[in-house]
Amino acid sequence: MFFGTKTNKIKKSISIVILVSLLGWLFSYFLNNIGDFKNIFLLDRFDIALLVLIYTASLFINGVILKILVSKLGGKIRYKESFLLSVATSFFNFITPFRGGAGIRALYLKKVHNFDYTKFIVTLVGSYLVLFLVISSMLLIATTYLFIKYNIFNLAITILFGSFFIGLIFFIIASPKNRPTKNWLVRKVFEVSNGWDLIKQDGKLLFHLFLLNIIYVLLGTFFMYITFTALGINIAFFKVLYFNLISFVSFFINVTPASLGVYEGVLFVTSSIVGILPSDALIFAVIFRVIGFLVTFLLFVLFGRYLYGEYYEKKRI
């Protein structure tokens, strides 16, 4: 218990230091380039409504992915419930570091549906494996197109996502098999691997997961493309797709709430690859943050009581 508490305090301290440092850097850049940010007011009501709709659709897609995986592993969850769990997860990711929303989702599924924590980890592993296989394969395709069409090529990013692609393919094909063991941790790893085997053997389910994740990535790309277009930035769709796919690197450095500062840093550093000004990349990040938080906050406030009621009804039993 002591070591767990101490570890949590260290993680929290690291998160705060990184968050303050990144926000300080962003604030300094903003003050030194304040004139470049006036374009943020170019968005009209139609643009904002469209972006809200796209963001809400992405939350719904995440909910459908959750339902498919939970159902495959024996859980029973309704579409309404899975969508609201997606909203709740996103909301708590906005306000807690280290993707704290996943813990809220795991607790809810365990209490309301008696869905084992090991099975929950299987849903996380399964969704992340498919998502990043989709991201890495789409980025390699986009890289090929941009090199042929615009002579744009970044070796470091190609190697990074190419390594992801090869590693994920290897894991999917040769995931570890269950062996008798007394070690609790090793046993749980094998249980997760067995759960993934159950998912990957279902060709129809895998197809649906790949399709849903492609839609999810494209929704994010359309969000970015519409934002840049509304800001008066003329950029090809494939360049935006490439830029959006690169931004998923921030997913691996999730030490601040919703990767605050980290996501902006990735956009800032990589924007020049596709010919976007760093200030325009940061404007997009601000718009994305504001719309994302407001959508999840309003949905959580309006409909979160449904999940609250389900949770406390089970708690009284």
Residue 264 forms part of a structural domain: yes
Residue 10 forms part of a structural domain: no
Domain count, the chain: 1
Residue 99 forms part of a structural domain: yes
Q: How far apart are CA 219 and CA 238, in angstroms?
A: 13
How many residues in total does the chain contain?
317
Q: Which range marks the domain in which residue 243 is found?
A: 45-316
Residue 268 forms part of a structural domain: yes
Residue 14 forms part of a structural domain: no
Residue 203 forms part of a structural domain: yes
- Amino acid at site 41: F
Residue 106 forms part of a structural domain: yes
Q: How far apart are CA 307 and CA 88, in angstroms?
A: 9
Residue 111 forms part of a structural domain: yes
| Tens-digit pLDDT profile for residues 126-178 | 898 899 999 999 999 999 999 999 999 999 999 999 999 998 888 777 766 66
pTM: 0.84
Residue in 156, 155, 162 with CA at minimum distance from that of residue 138: 162
Assign residue 142 a region (left: φ > 0; alpha: ψ between -120 and 50; beta: otherwise). alpha
| Tens-digit pLDDT profile for residues 269-317 | 899 999 999 989 988 998 998 899 889 989 988 887 777 666 555 554 4
Q: Report which of residues 184 and 87 the model is more confident about.
A: 87
